[in-house]
Structure 1
Amino acid sequence: MESNGMPRASLEKAGQSHEPAAHRWLVFISVVIGTFMVNVDSSIVNVAVPVLQRDFHVGPGALQWVISGYLLVVTAMLPMIGGMSDRTDRRTCYIAGVTVFSLGSALCAWSTDVDQLIVFRLVQALGGAAIMGNVMSIISYTFPAGQRGRPLGLVNSVVAAGTIVGPALGGALTAAVGWKSIFWVNIPLGMISIVMSLAFLRRMSTNRSMARFDWMGSLWFFVAMAGTLLFLSNGNSWGWMSGRSIMAGGLSIGAWLLFMMRESRIREPLIDLRLFRSARFAIGNVAGYLSYVIMMFPTFILPLFLHQVMHEPIAHVGLLMTSQAVAMILISPVAGWLTDKYGPKWPTTVGMAIVTAALLWMAGFGSGTSKPAVVAAQALFGLGMGLFTAPNNVSILESVPVAQTGLIGSLLATIRNFGRVSGVALAVVLLETAIGTSSHYSESALVIGSRIAFGSAAILGAVATLLISTRMAASSKTTVI
């Protein structure tokens, strides 16, 4: 059997690293530094928004694009960058990504107005997409099948650590040195990653020609994803049936239809839709998307609940919200080890069932809820997410040829970002069914809204659990590399 003109045996051999275990982990450290840098940066900027507003004398609408523009470009560019790295060299693409991200960080620090900052954040986003689109693929090339669970689990721990470190580091640096420091901090991390990558990463290429790269498919995907993100991110403020929302939604639907028509007809599509014929691949991606949608519910709703229902000071809210990330940091490596030893089916199923149980617990929160209960529920939620995510990623990556892991790694990152945007939009809609759009609402209305939102998220968790439990155990029909 062949894939894209390359014999299956050659693909398998390409994905098996014969280097010593110590060298593999040096490769892992090289790329995980980039992962940490990107994830810290995604949350570190949010803390500086009030300072940026004061220094640049602009409103929230303009500053929104400092964050939203970055997310839009990263999400829409990921499949194109992943597909290109599958045809060129993952080592070169990753190093170029870190270089561009570091350069973009320096340019952001030199910005003298908000327009410059937005443009340079887009430069950062291109580098960030190249980093995110290659990390999982490099790990798949470096570690043989049956040994990828632990490193992918540790990647999840690093992502969770970035969510903790980002706001705390951003607040400390902004207060002590100024907002420019939140961008300068990326430079030493980027330099370390570049030096280590040059020293330890080997060439990782399938030598597939760029002549047949699906540039038109990449364009349609970018337009479709950009339209979807604009609709989901702004529909609540624009009005879901406003002219701008209808235009963004219509553009998105039209571009998605054109994208799928093209992908089903050409010989080397950007995303091979036939991959979704595999139950293991399709269910893994759908369940992964639902998990990222669900993940945003506690992140968005609990700060409001803690501050306005439980009357916790803002300074305490951040501390009370860390138990989820801490649980994910601790359990993700264990989940990876369990996957290497027993396979991904049971960790993913049990993990999502735990997530659903935690959401049901949160759906019962009220004015009499204690702080330990909130911390414990989040820790249970983080435990379930940590148990689910790495095994699910392993299952998806090992269901495709190793020559396509650049694209699939990018697709996983795209689904993660898209799921987060969808989750925030859905949480807002559900919450506002009870409290309305006014900034003035009662505590009881917020409690009811929280229960509706968390109850709905629990239903999505139950659906994901059911999907995972029905995933075919007979992997013989699916390629395992």
Structure 2
Amino acid sequence: MKIGLKRKINDQIVIFTAGIGLFLSTLDTGIINVALPALAQTFHSSISVISWTVTLYTLVLTGTIIIFGRLSDNVGRLKVYSLGLIVFLLASILCSLSHSPGQLILFRAIQGIGAAMLQATAAAIITTTIPKERIGSALGTLGMLIAAGPVLGPSLGGLLISIGSWRWIFLINVPISVIGLSGCVLIRKKVKELRNNFKLDLIGNILLSVSILFILWGLSIWPIKGLLSFYTVIPFVVFIILFTAFIIWEIHTRHPIIDLRLFRCGSLSASILAVLIFGGATSLGFIVPPYFLEHVKHLLPWQTGIVNLSAPMALVIFSKVSGQLIKKVQTTHLMITGILIMASAYGTLGGMEVNWSPFLISGILFIYGIGAGLFQPPNTAAIMGAVPYEIQGTIGAVQRMVQNLGIALYTVIATALIQGHSHNGINDLMNGYQGAWIFAAITLVLSLLTFVFVFIRCQVKSI
């Protein structure tokens, strides 16, 4: 009994420590969005300049995450994770001491490097440390901590700015990082990581990272210059060239970042596609409601914030439920159920009308969050379980990179749809909102059909 209790306590330390990194990296995205007007006023700068604190953070995070995931498989996931906490901690302090927009943007880029280290290794620490029979529950708890970042970010940021200074939105990371580092020390005393001696694919890492930077660059320019602008097309063309070169290189090199033959497995490919769509679709729950509630319903920002909490709150609650169900229900069944609920919720929002109340929208977003909570832990378990132990850090990094790409892609498309219908009155504007929801619902259905196809194919093979 005592041994079992001690093992359970150790598991909780691992889960909580790994979750802190993901919590920090998602918290900082939401918390600074609220602070952009205050930062622009403080530094006597424009929102377009200050917004680079968000853009560059995302670019660096997504562009380097694979490198750190692969590196962690070689030198140790906990070592890279601990270094990520240190980098994030120091960068947060430097951000709080900034005296110009340039300094803040630079330090946010460094913070993005720390966030990449954390996101690349968090899930792998759990899947390589905790016994297999408890991984489902652990990933459910991890899903709760991931969702807590977007829930607390905007409200905490607004509170800190209201009662103190913008500098506190960065200093709040210090005690959280210290707690995470303390957890790392405890884990190191009890867990010995197995390392893998393989050659790092430097060329492949560079090709992938730079290609991702260019597609994110193109996506960030798209809303400003338009899709067919020279400044938008060139980054997309460079991305296609570099990503094609990456695929060719990975097929022929002896030490690929990740063996592309793994994606012949239908379940892994379907799960990765679902991550892209899930990340993007979920981001719309934070983007579209504020436009509608503030511009059409004339709600105050804090009232809009309460409505926006609906989906993340449900995600937090049902991620834990889903983690427990993994032991009893097939992961594919849980994922299909979750996607069906999400697609139904967004399909309903596709019929949004001017007279819809905030309570109705909040309720539908809560239903979406239920589906998201049911989907996320089993999908993570399916991805991590589809690859060997030796590349858990790499595949975890791939998952987070794809999710971040989905967020960037859907943000651009939703913004373009809304802005494209914002000049001809309220009815035309509603078409923009409806279009964003319908686009997300259709892609969720596409993901659902992919999983159904894979499930049927697996059933046929087993006969």
Q: Please, what TM-score do these two structures have when normalized by structure 2?
A: 0.95
- Give, in whole Å, the separation in 2 of the partners of 1:110 and 1:176: 18
Equivalent position of 1:465 in the other structure: 448
Residue in structure 1 matched with residue 194 of structure 2 by the alignment: 205
Q: How far, CA to CA, are the matches of 1:120 and 1:403 in structure 2?
A: 33
CA contact (8 A) 1:149 1:394 kept: yes
1:369 paired to 2:352: no
1:109 maps to amino acid: S
More moved, 300-309 vs 129-138: 300-309
Distance 1:474 1:401 in 2: 23
Aligned-residue offset at 1:474: 7.9
One-letter identity of the residue aligned with 1:344:
T
Q: Residues 236-275 of structure 1: matches in 2 within 5 Å?
A: 236-275=223-262
For 1:454, the aligned partner's letter is W
SS at match of 1:264: helix
Would you say 1:333 and 2:320 are equivalent positions?
yes
Q: Which amino acid aligns with 1:358?
A: A
- Within the alignment, does 1:161 sit opposite 2:148 as a pair? yes
- Structure 2 partner of 1:86: 73
Instruction: Report the CA distance between 1:475 and its aligned residue.
Output: 7.1
Given candidates 98, 102, 112, the residue that maps to 1:111 is 98
| Equivalent-residue separation in structure 2 for 1:337 and 1:219 (angstroms) | 39
Provide closer, same or farther for how the CA distance between residues 474 and 466 of structure 1 changes in structure 2, counting only shifts above 3 A.
closer
Residues 19, 146 of structure 2: 8 Å contact kept: no
The residue number in structure 2 matching 1:133 is: 120
Aligned amino acid, residue 410 of structure 2: G
Say if 2:20 is the partner of 1:33: yes
Say which SS state the counterpart of residue 340 (structure 1) adopts.
Answer: coil
Whether the 8 Å contact between 1:90 and 1:205 is mirrored in structure 2 is: no
Deviation at residue 476 of structure 1 after TM alignment = 11
Q: Report the equivalent of 1:443.
A: 426
Deviation of 1:271 (Å): 2.5
The letter of the residue matching 1:446 is L
User: Matches of 1:476 and 1:334 in 2, distance apart?
Assistant: 26
Equivalent pair of 1:263/1:269 in contact (CA under 8 Å): yes
Look up the SS of the partner of 1:271 in the other structure: coil
Mapped to 1, the partners of 2:160 and 2:284 lie a distance apart of: 28
- Structure 1 pair 102–475 and aligned structure 2 pair: CA distance change class (3 A): farther
1:141-173 CA-partner distances (Å, limit 9, x unpaired): 122323211111111111111111111111111
Cα distance between partner residues in 1 of 2:457 and 2:382: 13
Answer whether contact 2:66 2:209 (CA < 8 A) is retained.
no
Q: CA RMSD in A?
A: 2.0
Task: Map 1:139-218 onto structure 2 (within 5 A).
Answer: 139-201=126-188, 202-209=191-198, 212-218=199-205
The answer to whether 1:22 aligns with 2:9 is yes
Q: Are the equivalent residues in 2 in contact too, given 1:89–1:203 (CA < 8 A)?
A: no
Q: CA deviation at 1:450?
A: 1.5
Greater fraction helix: 2
Q: Encode CA deviations 1:347-402: one digit per residue, 9 max, x unaligned.
A: 10010000111011101110121222111100011111111111111111101111
Aligned equivalent of 1:73: 60
Q: Which structure 2 residues correspond to residues 213-228 of structure 1 after superposition, within 5 A?
A: 213-228=200-215
TM-superposition CA deviations, 1:166-196 (whole Å, max 9, x none): 1111111112221111111111111111112
**CA 1:53–1:287 in structure 2 vs 1: closer, same or farther (change >3 Å)?**
same
Q: Percent same amino acid at aligned positions?
A: 28
Distance in 1 (alpha carbons) for counterparts of 2:50 and 2:303: 26
Q: What CA distance in whole angstroms lies between the structure 1 residues aligned with 2:262 and 2:5? A: 28
| 1:307-329 Cα distance to aligned partner (Å, 9 max, x none) | 22223222311111111111111
Structure 2 unaligned residues grouped into runs of 5+: none
- Relative to structure 2, which stretch is displaced further, 409-418 or 469-478? 469-478
| SS of structure 1 residue aligned to 2:387 | coil
What corresponds to 1:455 in structure 2? 438
Measure the CA separation in 2 of the matches of 1:432 and 1:124: 31
Q: How many corresponding residue pairs?
A: 456
Q: Which residue of 2 aligns with 1:394?
A: 381
Cα distance, 1:433 vs. partner? Answer: 4.5
Q: 1:236 to 1:380 in 2, by over 3 A?
A: same
Q: What is the one-letter code of the residue matched to 1:228?
A: I
CA distance in 1, matches of 2:417, 2:320: 34
Query: Structure 1 residues 370 and 61 mapped into 2: Cα distance closer, same or farther (>3 Å)?
Result: closer
Flag the 1:474–1:464 CA change in 2: closer, same or farther, 3 A: closer
Task: Structure 1: give runs of 5+ residues left out of the alignment.
Answer: 1-16
User: Take 2:460 and 2:19, find their aligned partners in 1: how far apart are those partners?
Assistant: 32
1:18 CA drift (Å): 13
Q: Distance in 2 between matches of 1:473 and 1:157?
A: 31
The one-letter amino acid paired with 2:438 is: G
User: Structure 1 residues 448-457 or 120-129, which shifts more?
Assistant: 448-457
Does structure 2 retain, via aligned residues, the 8 Å contact 1:279–1:472?
Answer: no
The Cα of 1:19 is off from its aligned counterpart by 7.9
> Do the aligned residues in 1 keep the contact of 2:96 with 2:167 (CA within 8 Å)?
yes
Distance 2:43 2:293 in 1: 31
Distance 1:191 1:289, change over 3 A: same
Helix, strand or coil at the partner of 2:133: coil
**Shift of residue 138 of structure 1?**
0.4
Q: Secondary structure at the match of 2:249?
A: helix
How far apart, CA to CA, are the structure 1 residues paired with 2:276 and 2:22? 20
Superposed displacement of residue 99, structure 1: 0.5
Bigger shift: 102-111 or 34-43? 34-43
